Each structure stands twice: as structure tokens, then as C-alpha cells.
Structure 1
Amino acid sequence: MPKITYIAFDGTPYVVEAREGTTVMENAIRNSVPGIEAECGGACACATCHVYVDEAWRAATGEPEPMEEDMLDFAFDLRPNSRLSCQIRVSAALDGLVVRIPERQG
């Protein structure tokens, strides 16, 4: 199973094993990673699962689709590497993915 490292705003790492085909958000919720609220449940209808994708993983995770870009406008402290974790689908190619959680959500 691919491993994802979530780094909380305070620097605490949370390493989880993620099933392929799920999303980065689903795995954060399933493993009680703090800072990912996911108020809409992964429907890309809020910005409360906002993460910063580590620079080394930006190409592998791809660019946001237009709907995600629109929702990112509501994210706190938007950056070039901002993504909604509900829109990043886990695959074997993402084994080792590192995402950082912002200070607060939307």
C-alpha cells in the first residue's frame, strides 16, 4: 500500500498507509489526521481539505481541474502548490507522497 505523510502545521508528521483508488482526504479522515476537516465529504464543494503538496510531488499529483481551482479561491493562505486533498487520487505512483496541512482551513 502506498504511504502518505501528512505534516501538521506544528510540524508533527502523520504517516498512513493508503489504499489505491481512495483520495488523500479519505485517508486523512480514516486515520484521524488533524487539520483536515472535509466538511463536504469530498464533493469538491468546500476548501476544508486544503493541503500543500510537497514540491517533489507536484508533477505526480497533477494540476487542479477548473472546479478545484474555483474552490481553492476559498482556501486559507493559498499557494502555488495548494490542492484539495479530496481531488488527489491515491495510486502506486504516489507512494511516499508528502502533503502539509495549513494553519487553518477555509
Structure 2
Amino acid sequence: MPKITYIEHSGTEHTVDVAEGLTVMEGAVTNNIPGIDADCGGACACSTCHVYVDPAWVDRLPPREEMESDMLDFAYEPQDNSRLTCQLKVTGDLDGLVVRMPEKQI
């Protein structure tokens, strides 16, 4: 099972196993990771699962689709490495992924 590290804004790290086929957001919710609110349940209809992807991983992820880019306009302080975790499907290739939560979700 791929391991994903979620880092809270405070710096607290949570490294958990996430089953392939789930999204990075579902992995956070299933493992009670604070900082991923997931208000829309993964429908890409909000920005409350926003994270900053570790620079080493940015180019290893599939590109954003237009709907994700549009929703990131509503995220708190989006950056070039911002992603919505509901749009990142977990595969074996994501083993070791590191994401950081923003100060807050909006």
C-alpha cells in the first residue's frame, strides 16, 4: 500500500498507508488527518481539500484538469504547487508522496 505523508500547517507529520484506488483526500479522511475538510465529499465542488504538493512530486503527478484549476481559485493562498486532493487518485506511483496543508481551508 502506498505511504503518503500529510504535513499540517503546524509542521505535524502524519505518514499513513492509503489503499490504491482511493484519492489522497479519502486517505486523509479515512485516517482522520486534520486539515483536510473535504466538505463536498470529493466532487471537486469546493477547495477544502487543498494542499501544497512537495516540489519533488509536482512533476510526477498528472496535470490539473480545468475544473480543478477553477476550484483552486477559491482556495486559501493557492500556489503553483497547489492541488485538490480529491483529484489525486492513489496508485503505487504515489508511494512516498508528501503534501502540506495550508493555514486554513476555505
Query: For the superposition of Structure 1 and Structure 2, which TM-score range results when normalised by the shorter chain?
Result: over 0.9
**CA–CA distance in 2 between the matches of 1:102 and 1:45?**
18
**CA–CA distance in 2 between the matches of 1:94 and 1:100?**
15
1:32-80 alpha-carbon deviations (Å, 9 max, x no partner): 0001000000000000000001011111212210000000000001100
Task: State the SS of the aligned residue for 2:57.
Answer: helix
Q: Runs ≥4 in structure 1, deviation > 6 angstroms?
A: none
In structure 2, what residue type is equivalent to 1:29? V
> 2:22 is matched with which residue?
22
**CA–CA distance in 1 between the matches of 2:76 and 2:32?**
21
Q: Percent identity?
A: 60
**CA–CA distance in 2 between the matches of 1:54 and 1:62?**
14
**CA–CA distance in 1 between the matches of 2:2 and 2:60?**
13
Counterpart mapping for 1:3-82 below 5 A: 3-82=3-82
TM-score computed with the length of structure 2 as normaliser: 0.98
1:82-101 alpha-carbon deviations (Å, 9 max, x no partner): 00000001010110000000
Question: How far off is 1:105 after superposition?
Answer: 0.4
Count of aligned pairs between the two proteins: 106
TM-score computed with the length of structure 1 as normaliser: 0.98
